[in-house]
Amino acid sequence: MRAISIAAILCVAGGAAPAASTNLTAQGAVDINLTDGAGGAIDAGVVDAFDDGGSVMLLNWRAATYNGFYETAHELTLHNADGGFVRSLATFTGTAFKSFVRKCGNDVYFGLDADIYRVSCSAPGAPVAVATLGNAYDLQFDPAGGAFAVANPGWAGNHIYAVDLTGANSHTVVVANAGAYSAELAVDSTGSIYYGTYNLGPNELRTFSAAQVAAAVAGGTALAWTDGTHLTDLASGAGGIECDADGNVVFTLNDFGNPGQLCVIESGAVYTGTYQYDRLSYANYFTTCVDAVGDVTDYGSLADAAFTAGGATLSAVPEPATALLLAAGIAAAPRRRRRTH
């Protein structure tokens, strides 16, 4: 298993950068090892970061064992910002595929095949199945705690859903036909949804306002992809995406002909050209989940950390004391995290 170092990502792997503002700069990196309860190194799977009263904490939802292509055991663990083990939250045995992990309040939600589970972060017990949604790829929450997911049930179409977490599975399509393949979605502090397509052809990033989302949920009529506001064309298919606390939109890009990229649309920046964003780094691997805590563009204060995950390590890019940026990458997409299509 190959660990992705963000020190390598910061070396441009080829391709011209888009015309964009230049007030963001790539940062240096150090490796952070995720460890188990015995101090041994473990793989990073899909990872979520959160602010725990001023301390950055990490959730790691990983495949613990494989049988060839198939994941045969899984574990959800909590770590501090340097990768140190805090506690195990859940374990599963059996052939299945992990998808996402997200924290909302004191609860952690994670996906395994078509099922979405909940477990307490501070006092874990047996995980509770709270929803079923076929081929759910990502889950996010709005400021009021409403849940939204990207999923492709029955391989019949990739849609964005308002998700019912009561167990009744009364899910509502909010945005229909959002690209051919699944990617992550983001929800900002107003409740607006951001999503970038992952197609084999042209790709773009659009946003759907909180008012549009609320109307679609209340009225039961899905938005079309073109109802969203076009933010930018994308040089490759979207992977992960996150809106930080200050309105910056951070995302990763992948395709089979170009290096993976970590990019940002900086709040208030003026961009020119086809691609309305800054490229922060490159990787010769697929990049997947992205998370942010604080303002990822505020470089005026002391360094904290930004993470990229792959293999058994997390690599940290220094950021300000108020910010953390997390991006996960994989050397072979099907083995680490199944893309729904």
Q: CATH no. for residue 182?
A: 2.120.10.30
**Residue 56 predicted with pLDDT over 70:** yes
pLDDT digits (tens, 9 = 90+) for 59-90: 899 999 999 889 999 999 999 878 899 999 99
pLDDT confidence tier of residue 52, bands split at 50, 70 and 90: confident
Asked if pLDDT for residue 286 goes beyond 80, the answer is no
Which range of residues forms the domain containing residue 202? 6-336
> If you average pLDDT over residues 201-226, what whole number do you get?
96
* Among 51, 93, 55, residue whose Cα is nearest residue 72: 93
With respect to residue 248, please indicate whether it lies within any of the assigned structural domains: yes
Q: Are 183 and 240 in contact (CB under 8 A)?
A: yes
Which pair of structure tokens corresponds to residue 245?
Answer: 């606390």
Look at residue 157 and tell me if it is in a domain.
yes
Render pLDDT for 133-172 as a digit per residue (tens, 0 to 9): 999 999 999 999 999 999 999 999 999 999 999 999 999 9
Residue 134 lies in a domain: yes
- Going from the C-alpha of 78 to that of each of 32, 170, 288, the distances in angstroms are 14, 31, 20
Confidence of residue 295 (pLDDT cuts 50, 70, 90): low
Number of domains in the chain: 1
Does residue 121 fall inside a structural domain? yes
Give a yes or no: residue 1 inside a domain: no
Provide the pLDDT for residue 258: 66
Rounded alpha-carbon distances, angstroms, from residue 55 to 49, 51, 101, 148, 247: 10, 6, 19, 26, 21
